Amino acid sequence: SQILSNSDLKKMVDTSDEWIEKRTGIKERRIASAEEATSDLGVKAALIAIERAGIDAKEIDLIICATLSPDHLCMPSTACVIAGKLGINDVMAFDISAACSGFVYMLSMAKAYIESGMKKNILLIGAEKISSVVDYTDRGTCILFGDGAGAAIIGATEDKNEAILDIHASADGRYGDLLITPGCGSKFPCSQETLDNKLNFIKMQGNDVYKIAVKTLTNDVIDILEKNNLESSQIDHFIPHQANFRIIEAVRAKLNFPIEKTVLTVAKYGNTSAASIPMAMNDAYEEGRIKRGDLMLLDTFGGGFTWASALVRFGGK
């Protein structure tokens, strides 16, 4: 419900509008109110997805939520909280932790559940009140992140024009410390000392993350296109994780995606982690850019390190 602009951040840390825009492309980000939790953002996105899919909420037989800012650290899962708020009271529901790659990771799970016939209508939600784990005295991170949520319904189809064609998802745990929320888990349980040392907030070695992100996002796209015998010119919409405009631009230019085919929302929302890809898809959909049958290439990278790419023909109405 609130907008945090670069000028607002200037009053909080030693930074400038020009520095933030030049280095990241971000102009503003949304911040949830004190009363709103991650699940509240997720519920709003879920209700829109359910309405657009034209199904009854009771037809949903699996709810997965990807988030790095869950309502509660251990339990109940944010997916369970969302299920309760939606009034869906007998459904399999759980969270996944894959940082910014969460949405595409969930998509791969949904594909497997649907193709095996185990589930029929799956609600995926990427939701973040990331402002709750950001240190607003750390100029290296607080300028980047924003709150938000995006959701999708994944169902079965025989139509190749509305299918999830392929997904690559991977991780390399050797880089975990470069992007980490160190405290308030089992390693450094929540204590006065943990809080005094601000271990409950995101810590990032931005420059190292940047270099690996560009390389990984680029290679991931090359791999998935090659494996599916596709050229970048056959992609209708390139939808990258919205972390930093410079990262997106480096990947886009290297892979020859025209800027008109690249979905960009980073200027107005910043990095919303697991919500970033579905929010970008939603903006493009609401602008009338994405139509049924269009081929979308999703590409994401995040803490873990995790990364994932997906080729999806949009099956929305």
Q: Which of 200, 244, 271, 282 is catalytic?
A: 271
Of 12-20, 78-86, 103-111, 279-287, the window that binds ligand ACO (rule: CB under 6 A) is 12-20
Nearer to ligand ACO, 171 or 209 (CB): 209
Asked if 108 contacts 167 with a C-beta cutoff of 8 angstroms, the reply is yes
Burial environment of residue 316 by CB neighbours within 10 A (0 to 12, 13 to 18, 19 or more): middle
Cis peptide before 76 (omega within 30 of 0): yes
Of 56, 54, 76, whose CA–CA distance to 65 is shortest? 76
Binding mask 161-180 for ligand ACO (x = CB under 6 A): ------------------x-
139 touches ligand ACO by CB under 6 A: yes
DSSP 160: G
- For residues 239 and 29, what is the distance between their CA atoms, to the nearest angstrom? 19
**Any catalytic annotation for residue 271?**
yes
DSSP-derived 3-state class of residue 311: strand
100 touches ligand ACO by CB under 6 A: yes
Contacts of 99 (CB under 8 A, 6+ apart): 68, 179, 273, 274, 302, 303, 304, 306
Tokens of 116: 């095996």
**Any catalytic annotation for residue 100?**
yes
Sign, CA torsion 270/178/186/241:
positive
Out of 213, 221, 297, 312, name the contact with ligand ACO by CB under 6 A: 213
Out of 210, 261, 268, 293, name the contact with ligand ACO by CB under 6 A: 210
244 touches ligand ACO by CB under 6 A: yes
Helices (H) and strands (E) in the chain, counts: 11, 12
126 touches ligand ACO by CB under 6 A: no
- Which residues inside 190-209 make contact with ligand ACO, applying CB under 6 A? 206-207, 209
- For residues 231 and 248, what is the distance between their CA atoms, to the nearest angstrom? 18
Q: Which of 6, 80, 142, 241 is catalytic?
A: 241
Q: Which of 65, 80, 100, 142 is catalytic?
A: 100
Nearer to ligand ACO, 121 or 200 (CB): 200
290 touches ligand ACO by CB under 6 A: no
- For residues 298 and 283, what is the distance between their CA atoms, to the nearest angstrom? 14
Count, residues near ligand ACO per rule CB under 6 A: 24
99 touches ligand ACO by CB under 6 A: yes
Tokens of 152: 């999708």
Asked if 61 contacts 122 with a C-beta cutoff of 8 angstroms, the reply is yes
Min dist CB 59 to ligand ACO, Å, is 33
Min dist CB 299 to ligand ACO, Å, is 12
Nearer to ligand ACO, 77 or 271 (CB): 271
279 touches ligand ACO by CB under 6 A: no
42 touches ligand ACO by CB under 6 A: no
Size (the chain), residues: 317
Out of 4, 6, 24, 153, name the contact with ligand ACO by CB under 6 A: 24
**Active site positions, annotated:** 100, 241, 271
Q: Which residues bind ligand ACO (CB under 6 A)?
A: 15, 19-20, 23-24, 99-100, 139-140, 143, 179, 206-207, 209-210, 213, 243-244, 247, 271, 273, 301-303
